[in-house]
Chains A and B, each alone.
Chain A
Amino acid sequence: MTRRASILGGAAAIATTFVVFVIPFIFIVLMAFKDRQQSALRDFSWPTGFHLWENVAEVVKTRNWMMITAFINSTIITVVSVTLLVIFAAMVGYVLARRKTRWNGLIEFLILAGLMVPPAVVPTIWLLQGLKLFGTLHGMILIEVAYNLPFSIILYRAFVATIPRDLDEAAIIDGARPLDVFFRIVLPLLWPVTVTNIVVQSVGIFNDFTNPLYYLPGNANATVQLTLYNFQSQFSTAYNLLFTNILLITIPPLLVFLFFNRQIVAGMTAGAVKG
């Protein structure tokens, strides 16, 4: 491609993506800066005054500082369940890719089923009740782990296949125990796909709405998406507050993304090679 074409193509790409992807985001930000009257117009205009802090303060204070509770809960759920997901899925992916047994077919079927079968909500609630986990953060964390395991395992299994077997076998011959091999040698090698897992799963779990709605009732258990959902009708005529809320809860995923931005593709690389 010539330099000229590249610049032209680049300009066209920038212009198109700007309109399609950036303008909706700017719209959210502008709305969050407006006061109630101006935001009611729902147009793409410059805020007449700077009202962001008032809006943030009002959103955060609504319903007894529910937003703060929600941020704490969502953070705990996301961090713990992603950690468990990474470890559990890497262990499964590692052994699944390395050892061929007659069970592999069944296990792979169950993994695929996990992607396909819509969860059965009410039986799950009964079960959580029986385990005394209903309406607790622990229960919510385990649910997120269970529902997201298949995708993580698929990513890991594909990536493990690209790591030369010699590496872990050498360590085994040196007398290392399986657990040591896994945590000291394999897991570090899996870092690129772990990053992908962290980004995709933490964003998904942080943004999960349906599951907390069912499995985590109660004000003390609010998560950030539920605050948005609750505020949606309460703020039905206050678009500035609604969009301030959207803006606030988009910040944590954005931070995760900025932090890992450069490394996301690397993890997908091998994941996609094997499909």
Chain B
Amino acid sequence: MSVSVSAAPAVSPAPPAPRLTRRSPYPGWFFTPAAIVYSVLFLAPTFASLYFSLTRWTLFDSEFIGFENFAQFFREPFLIKGLINTVIYAVVTSGLKVVLGLLLAVMLTSQIVARGYLRSVVFFPVLVSTVGVGITFTVLMHPTQGMINETLAMFGIAGPGWLTDPNLALYSVALVDVWKGVGLATVIYIAGLVVIPRDYYEAARIDGATPWQNFWYVTLPLCRPATSTVITLSFIGGLRTFDLIWAMTKGGPGFASDTIASVIYKQYQAGFYGLSTAGNVVLFILIALLVVPLTMILNRKQGHE
């Protein structure tokens, strides 16, 4: 593949700057190392996969079949469910991360006791690997021997089959995802909150604002950049999510917690490489369709501030 030029424009000499007689102090070749690695190892294979998505591919040889894979992918009986699940998962996880992350961040930037402890504790799950988290929570969420249901049983509550009830499995995994990822969202929010000038709160206090008004009219609008970062990162992450679902339910029970990424992976596993690559393209288009407008909305609102 020879697509490596696509990111190379930066290598071209800087346009002559008439005001200055010397070369730009911000040389384009600074892009080169990153551009080479990125183009060769990411962009080139991605473009190659566009071709393979149009073939019936056994890894050993490929036969060009046009858009047949895409037609087949949309005929997948579980694709619609997978599509819906993917969007639910992304919305639930990014929504909860925004709400809980902001809540925790407001708490952790206030004069609360044990701030250091809380900050560390909330960030801790970020450090554990997805496979480790998956194993741990699969054990904790076991319907009869798991700690969660055994604890509930002590209070006389019959706990549900967190991962075995088809109606619940996706949400259980989403909750674990939030558990694992809320620390990062909190840190981003803390960073967004500490730069809000104290004057605003001072002014609000003089106007007699309640803590709630403070939050609603000062904090929330002024940390919108942080919100936009958290939403964008966790929403894209949620749409692409794979490893946690795979570690915990493998898309099951049955197809109940399948997302597009797990459907794609199953096609890949089954040896339908062309089909799976076509699914990748579909996933990319879905992400682009949802994320690009979202980014534009988030950025436009920012402009009004």
Contacts and interface: CB of A to CB of B under 8 A. Distances in A.
Contacts of A9: 107, 112
Contacts of B45: 119-120, 123-124, 126-127
Interface string A8-30: 01110110011011101101100
A182 B128 CA distance: 34
Contacts of B156: none
A127 B240 contact: no
A273 B225 contact: yes
Interface string A238-275: 01001100100110011011000100111111111111
Contacts of A182: 30
A44 interface: yes
A107 B7 contact: yes
Interface string B1-37: 1000011011000110000000011111011011001
Interface stretch (B46-54, B87-95, B197-205): B46-54
Interface string A180-208: 01100000000000000000100100110
A257 B184 CA distance: 12
B126 interface: yes
A98 interface: yes
Interface string A31-55: 0000000000111100000000000
A268 B187 contact: yes
B110 to A, nearest CB: 6
Nearest to A224: B129
Interface string A77-107: 0000000100111011011001101010011
A143 interface: yes
A217 interface: no
B10 A228 contact: no
A101 B44 contact: no
Contacts of A122: 49, 52, 59, 273, 277
B298 A27 contact: no
Given A10-B113, A20-B179, A265-B190, A253 B127 contact: yes
B71 interface: no
B218 to A, nearest CB: 15
A119 B42 CA distance: 7
B118 interface: yes
B160 interface: no
Given A95-B27, A274-B225, A149 B37 contact: yes
Contacts of A220: none
A65 interface: no
Contacts of A131: 40
Contact of A210 (B146, B228, B242, B288): B242
Nearest to B132: A246
The residue among A11, A94, A168, A246 with the most chain B CB atoms within 10 A of its own CB is A246
Contacts of B228: 275
A188 to B, nearest CB: 17
A20 B28 CA distance: 48
Contact of A272 (B49, B114, B150, B191): B191
A91 B195 CA distance: 25
Interface stretch (B75-83, B134-142, B162-170): B134-142
Interface residues of B, number: 98
Contacts, number: 269
Given A21-B125, A261-B120, A114 B38 contact: yes
B46 A94 contact: no
B152 interface: no
Nearest to B295: A112
A177 B233 CA distance: 36
Given A88-B34, A116-B287, A122-B59, A239 B139 contact: yes
Contacts of A273: 191-192, 195, 225-226
Given A14-B118, A123-B48, A268-B187, A107 B10 contact: yes
B184 A118 contact: no
B132 A120 contact: no
A86 to B, nearest CB: 11
A89 B34 contact: yes
A225 B38 contact: no
B280 interface: yes
B188 interface: yes
Contacts of A203: 126-127
Contacts of A275: 225-226, 228-229, 232, 298-299, 302
Closest 3 CB pairs of A and B: A268-B191, A120-B49, A10-B113
22 contacts: A42-B142, A42-B146, A44-B151, A107-B7, A116-B284, A119-B46, A120-B280, A122-B273, A122-B277, A124-B41, A142-B37, A147-B41, A203-B126, A228-B129, A253-B128, A254-B124, A254-B127, A265-B194, A269-B195, A272-B226, A272-B229, A275-B228
